[in-house]
Structure 1
């Protein structure tokens, strides 16, 4: 992959000298950024006046346009002061994964001596001070001391950029392997690591590399020190290990080998509270930590997942080119990856994503059970769901159709799958978080508890013998009514899921963008759907989905159907907890005067907790001796 190597620093730091030497050694073109200044800028500096941001804008835009054109032909070196972060952002716009920065660093005294002795440059030495005043040292650059000789500097650059990897992947489980191949397919030089355990895990990284041609330029390791030292600085290492204590053990194993400003990216399903703790801990070591949710499973990780990074924004910008390049793309070809927010917000959003996913899966399972009760075979159920794609398409709907069609011999494979559903913790965490934040995510809790009930297989078999007589009479519902009930419940599910994100954003001061979160969930992830795409625009207008006219119309239209479906299933002993809860929640959230008056009176009776009165606008607390 062609690269633009920007050599930056204040005037007189030796950019041109280093740039020419490096270009000669690498046999690539060299360009001086000063040649792109408009005449007005040159005259201003020659007259002893410092450039301002407006002066530099046209110059930076011209350089960026030139770089984007040049990179189509070959790599090249451009020397340019690029003193502010926003200048660098302009210079690399549209080139995110193809830019390398070299920063030549020196003291004012060192560089002043050089500048005042120059006779061939339009900028006088008295402007040097103004450059130091606006200088924002880049974290993403290879920083080199100008006290070194030009040959030493160029040798270090060649060693760092031409002989080291850009990105490291630690842990080669299913997701780690797919992400490694994704990175390599996007042209990145990567190092991959997997632990060595005698007789259990031996030569995993090397054997994996040998399997796939795209990994021919990757470096494979089972020694941590060698792995870390193979990476250019600041190092960027994605951890793909099991969430929990394993992450902390890996961090401690890596720390002795890391340097200041290195970046660790946790790509697993970690608890957002633990992510916040790790960020704070690693700050004391001057190491960046980015908690990153990744959705899409094995296939998504390889072809393009939805990526949800959270943590320090400046640190994210250093890994942005890599994460955006490997992510899925939305319908506008934009990356399904965005900076979520500070602290553990990335992992929080991924946690809620999984909670929404639990409900979407449960609803489709309930739909299948209802259609089966109507006498349909798995193939016929699949045919019905296939037709639903016209109005309710989603990734999960699509894979459910495929699952239902799969046969083993003369029978459908799905009938042979043991009915005990597992979970990996994110549904639990979402339910706990909803309780902590006071948000009624009742469908997520219901879907989670349905999985828990399924796990009591032996007890269910015993109780079925005792209580198992069911009303198996014909259901009085149509396939279209089931579809409308499904659409109703899905809207309620998404309302609850985004409501907890909104509340977390407010409670933790994260400033989360619900529309942008919706957008990155339209591609690559498990809950991508036509509904999610609609939510991108809806969330630009409101954070309350139940206030949107389009969704209000759909809910009103589907409400009779969902009530009928739930009633019929209840009468005919079909378990539909998610459908049922969608109706109960909707009834509760749309009730003007709830039963909570009784609850509050009871609390006041036995605990003197007091209550407020609807006929007292002062908001005063009241207490009553109820037996007197």
Structure 2
């Protein structure tokens, strides 16, 4: 990846852009181009006649400069001078090269610049038009701001110190994910600073040694001193925290705060609880520091080659880190980044939490499917071959890795036979279940997968129980391979319905305005739950918030329903544990009923607690209480 950069020098006419560009060009030995030279003739005539340019006049001019920048970047860095007074102008100039641009804003007062313009001769821009430029000026935030009171030589010196010697992005914490993200950023041409703590005899020169091991990090800066790390970064500083969730994040924030400046941006890339992210967002806002909660999915390989990223926080702050995150993210089938602004506060960590909940179920369903095939006396290779054939109709990342897992052998046996059956967890499934309960959403499948993991952890008690309650029947279940496949597909649809329904409810409750179609899109690449089904949901969510109302999915459920009923009933009769598969059909049976058993519950509640109830024969919604005895 090329390390070439475009240095855009901007500001109102008369601020000295061309002078500074010329000096900087000589210092860096790269070409510079004056944007004024690329105005079409009609623009020059308009300005010469004393008329200000409008946005339509500037559109083609800005597009020309963007193409110029892209052409130059093929072979070298360059400097382009352009007033670029509005944010939307800079967006045009940044188009397709935002990860390769540095903005330098030459700032001065109206009177100071007017005096300079009046001293110039032969320039088509008169001082009379200066006020119109100040009127539309939108000062950039993500830039190097330089006061034109400095001498031209000192301005160039400051630019070199800030942009040439300092890093664009900082990574705090060099665990597995942190290291992979560092290499990803460096491979994409970003100059980065890396920090890892120093602990005598335990963690010594971690960042330095890491840098030495990978050639792509040769241009990076390595630190174990926080002050030096922070000072190595361009302002506003962008620092991604890749440390353990929980109190560690708070300790790191407090360690960093004395060294930060207003408008610096901290990005939490770990699996933090969304409520804690909101607390940190609010706390740092009082310090004029931006806090971005960014869910990152994809594991070690995804972090290196392209993860799915779910950032949330202040939207303007996100725009300042957008070029970095979207560049390193995975790409979807249309080559768009699997990274998008989710919403404010902790919404990014919320959707990552639910992502992990959906992941829990997807993993559990595959585990249950394998258990069923084992009961049919298939060996791991045979099961792998069956699952391999499923890729044609229901492929996913988890299906692919499960096939690989089943085929892995150690000596003369399959490795899967040697792994202790106690599943761990890091809390996100638990948080998802709690959030579903708090929001009142029936996320029953994530709960079933979570409690299946909890059950697995009671290995000794399970061993004892197996002796006391050994299966009475040893016969094989009467289930076809096709029926198992269809039951699996059915359960996955219900899982995705429940997961996205939880996100929709949270979005409504917290006013996050989450775009479910866009969320599904960034989950089609780079992440653990990417699948053909997820790709289908991108289109479904463009017209439906409830996937069960989509005609195609509705027909799929009706077609698959018979198989899941057959599989679940056979497994129950043959004492095969399938908590998530069985929950999928139980949920639908409970959910797809106009009249449920809840009327009994309401009567019971009114009997012992006078909680009241509503009547079917009273459409007003009035609440009643009865003396039941």
Offset at 1:475? 0.7
**Aligned partner of residue 227 in structure 2, secondary structure:** helix
**Alpha-carbon distance in structure 1 between the residues aligned to 2:33 and 2:41:** 18
**Alpha-carbon distance in structure 2 between the residues aligned to 1:111 and 1:625:** 85
**Alpha-carbon distance in structure 2 between the residues aligned to 1:142 and 1:80:** 15
User: Is contact 2:471–2:575 with CA below 8 Å preserved after alignment?
Assistant: no
Tell me what 2:275 maps to.
273
Offset at 1:51? 2.1
Tell me what 1:292 maps to.
294
Structure 2 counterparts to residues 50-199 of structure 1, below 5 A: 50-199=52-201
Q: 2:554 aligns with which of 552, 556, 577?
A: 552
Offset at 1:621? 1.6
**Alpha-carbon distance in structure 2 between the residues aligned to 1:332 and 1:522:** 11
- 1:458 paired with 2:460, answer yes
**Alpha-carbon distance in structure 1 between the residues aligned to 2:442 and 2:578:** 19
**Alpha-carbon distance in structure 2 between the residues aligned to 1:18 and 1:366:** 67
Tell me what 1:623 maps to.
625
Offset at 1:276? 1.1
Tell me what 2:442 maps to.
440
**Aligned partner of residue 84 in structure 2, secondary structure:** coil
**Aligned partner of residue 94 in structure 1, secondary structure:** coil
**Alpha-carbon distance in structure 1 between the residues aligned to 2:71 and 2:363:** 47
Offset at 1:219? 1.1
Tell me what 2:484 maps to.
482
* Alignment RMSD: 1.1
**Aligned partner of residue 78 in structure 1, secondary structure:** strand
**Alpha-carbon distance in structure 1 between the residues aligned to 2:114 and 2:627:** 84
Tell me what 2:312 maps to.
310
User: Is contact 2:211–2:220 with CA below 8 Å preserved after alignment?
Assistant: yes
**Aligned partner of residue 542 in structure 2, secondary structure:** helix
**Alpha-carbon distance in structure 2 between the residues aligned to 1:10 and 1:275:** 39
Tell me what 2:508 maps to.
506
**Alpha-carbon distance in structure 2 between the residues aligned to 1:589 and 1:61:** 54
Offset at 1:520? 0.8
**Alpha-carbon distance in structure 2 between the residues aligned to 1:41 and 1:594:** 71
- Structure 2 length-normalised TM: 0.98
**Aligned partner of residue 48 in structure 1, secondary structure:** coil
Q: 1:494 aligns with which of 490, 493, 496?
A: 496
- Structure 1 length-normalised TM: 0.98
| Aligned residue-pair number | 627
Structure 2 counterparts to residues 531-570 of structure 1, below 5 A: 531-570=533-572
Structure 2 counterparts to residues 331-350 of structure 1, below 5 A: 331-350=333-352
Q: 1:263 aligns with which of 259, 262, 265?
A: 265
**Aligned partner of residue 43 in structure 2, secondary structure:** helix
Tell me what 2:612 maps to.
610
**Alpha-carbon distance in structure 2 between the residues aligned to 1:278 and 1:178:** 25
User: Is contact 2:358–2:499 with CA below 8 Å preserved after alignment?
Assistant: yes
Offset at 1:193? 0.8
Tell me what 2:475 maps to.
473
**Alpha-carbon distance in structure 2 between the residues aligned to 1:471 and 1:354:** 36
Offset at 1:52? 2.2
Offset at 1:285? 1.4
**Aligned partner of residue 556 in structure 2, secondary structure:** helix
Tell me what 1:428 maps to.
430
Structure 2 counterparts to residues 341-420 of structure 1, below 5 A: 341-420=343-422
Q: In the superposition, relative to structure 1, how do residues 66 and 405 fare at CA in structure 2: closer, same or farther (>3 Å)? A: same
**Alpha-carbon distance in structure 2 between the residues aligned to 1:70 and 1:352:** 44
**Alpha-carbon distance in structure 2 between the residues aligned to 1:104 and 1:479:** 69
Offset at 1:260? 1.4
